[in-house]
Chains A and B, each alone.
Chain A
Amino acid sequence: MAQALLEALNLEVHYGGISAVKGISFVVEQGEMVCLIGANGAGKTSTLKALARMLPCRGEIHYGAERIDALPSHALISRGLALVPEGRGVFARLSVAENLAMGAYHRTSDRAGTADIGKDMDRIYGLLPRLAERREQLAGTLSGGEQQMLAIGRALMGRPKLLLLDEPSMGLAPIVVQKVFEVIRSVAADGVTILLVEQNARLALETCARGYVMESGKITLADSAAALLADPRVRAAYLGE
């Protein structure tokens, strides 16, 4: 029986008077690939930001054996929780190599951690060869697809146990989306647990084992990906049928 790696209980996010996430609960088990789908403004990004402690929230967030809802954002990566943010968030004025080095920032606080960072960087360059050719280039000059690859590569440099991904397909051509998802699948195959937020519901459900559907700040459906793909409500609202 798999163990819950991440569990949210009655999670709420408010922006002033607007409530964006209205008390949702969900679990992500160790080694799983789970997706959270929903239309624009459903509250997906707010949920991920709350999980990554970038926003104040109410409710409980359990990660492993710990409650993390009172921790600051910068304390998460050393616990193995990484977020690839919406819009990539690469450091435009840092080079590709420096962006990757930032991903390993928390591992370099002691000399012991520094040793195998070079190896990890080579592994990332092997996984994402386009970055290897551009390691000295400023990240701001990369194409959107390359920036997405860099954002994922940077998160992997932190050796995450749980990777939160916010719309990695956003604004990318279909062929690039395919590549990005290939990378995500290979990361999952390496044992990293993944919570994927996507508007591209079909792709997300075909990639993940389970899914949650979010609508105006609430989770309205939760099921296996296959069941959701077959659900007439999902087909009508999110698969354009």
Chain B
Amino acid sequence: MDIFLQQIVNGLTLGSIYALVALGYTMVYGILGLINFAHGEVVMVGAMVALMVMKALAASGLPAPIIFLIALFAAAIACMALGFTIERIAYRPLRNAPRLAPLITAIGVSIVLQQMAMIIWGRSYHSVPQLLPSENHEFFGAQITELQVIILIVAALTMAGLMLLVNRTRLGRAMRATAENPAIAGLMGVDANRIIAMTFLIGSALGALAGVLVSANYGIAHHHMGFILGLKAFTAAVLGGIGNLGGAMVGGVLLGLIEALGAGYIGDLTGGILGSHYQDVFAFFVLIVVLVFRPSGLMGEKVSERA
């Protein structure tokens, strides 16, 4: 088996999920300058709601892919409602407060959601039923599952759709204008509150998709999965240049690759002292390196505004 190619395949799959989550961070940051630390928990809620729906429909006799789609749809609705509510009750009242206030609130919301999830769904790990085709295929010496192919295609199509929305539609233009200058966009008739709400809705829907895909990929879901996933996606957003959509995508995929390759080779590199369970180390190493050496990220440069 070709370890290198294998880890590329794994890294791309993981990275495309990071990218979906990172988009949620970066979109909110772009428009509010706020790091929405509760976003990881929204992703977790997506995974858990989808799991509940899958279990409820398990005996329904519906075809597995249909159950999956229904679960995904339910997760998206739940996450959008949650994201919308968080913005409304936690962030909007602090819109003009000093920056630290909404940041601390975001962490607070994150803790509340995690605890609530623990109360509702318990502390244990839940295994996620395999509803999508997951047969293994040989691919130039690496193994790729049908599920991985599905994840890659769905993530790519979703991100292409998002780019079209942001760059080619009236709503997307208003979002970019509001991100740059909400007061001036207001003069053009843009209701910033609506645009911000839309941003949370879209980011949460992407988060729901990511949560469902990641739990399908690992076959597992639990109440604190949002924490580490959120932190990694945040790292991906910072790596790409927070506030930049293309950056979040590139950062997500890159981080996935770094992690997968790191996990694949860490044993060899350290003479067997560290094993692949140290995979998580790489994300935080990347975060520190980026923050120290290039805080604006890979694609974080902005067009300078001339007087």
Contact = CB atoms under 8 A, between A and B. Distances in A.
B306 A77 contact: no
Interface in A81-127: 82-83, 85, 87, 89, 91-94, 98, 101-103, 105-106, 108
B307 A93 contact: no
B177 interface: yes
Contacts of A54: 183, 186-187
Interface string A60-96: 0000000000001111111000110101010111100
Interface stretch (A3-11, A32-40, A140-148, A187-195): A140-148
Interface in B172-199: 173-174, 176-177, 180-181, 183-192
A82 B302 CA distance: 28
A91 B306 contact: no
Contact of A92 (B180, B186, B188): B180
B302 A93 contact: yes
A82 B187 contact: yes
A85 B306 contact: no
A138 interface: yes
A194 to B, nearest CB: 16
A73 B306 contact: no
A101 B183 CA distance: 17
A73 B174 CA distance: 15
Contacts of A208: none
B307 A77 contact: no
Contacts of A144: 306-307
A147 B304 CA distance: 14
Given A102-B177, A105-B174, A108-B170, A52 B187 contact: yes
Contact of B184 (A89, A101, A141, A142): A89
A83 B173 contact: no
A43 interface: no
B303 interface: yes
B191 A83 contact: no
B305 interface: yes
A94 B177 CA distance: 7
Contact of B187 (A83, A87, A101, A138): A83
Interface string B291-306: 0000000000011111
Contacts of A142: 306
A57 B176 CA distance: 29
Contacts of B173: 94, 98, 101-102, 105
A140 B180 CA distance: 11
Given A91-B176, A102-B174, A140-B304, A73 B186 contact: yes
Contacts of B170: 101, 105, 108
Interface residues of B, number: 23
Interface residues of A, number: 35
A171 interface: yes
Contacts of B304: 92, 140
A67 to B, nearest CB: 19
A217 interface: no
B186 A72 contact: yes
A211 interface: no
A134 B189 CA distance: 25
B302 A74 contact: no
A158 interface: yes
A147 B306 contact: yes
B12 to A, nearest CB: 30
Given A92-B305, A94-B177, A141-B306, A78 B184 contact: no
Interface string B87-102: 0000000000000000
Interface string B187-216: 111111000000000000000000000000
Nearest to A84: B187
A141 B303 contact: yes
List the 8 closest pairs (A to B, CB-CB), nearest first: A106-B189, A73-B186, A89-B184, A140-B303, A77-B189, A92-B305, A74-B186, A105-B188
Given A74-B189, A105-B190, A106-B189, 8 more contacts: A73-B183, A74-B186, A89-B181, A105-B174, A140-B305, A144-B306, A144-B307, A147-B306
13 contacts: A72-B191, A74-B187, A78-B189, A92-B306, A93-B302, A94-B177, A105-B173, A105-B188, A105-B189, A108-B170, A140-B305, A141-B303, A144-B307
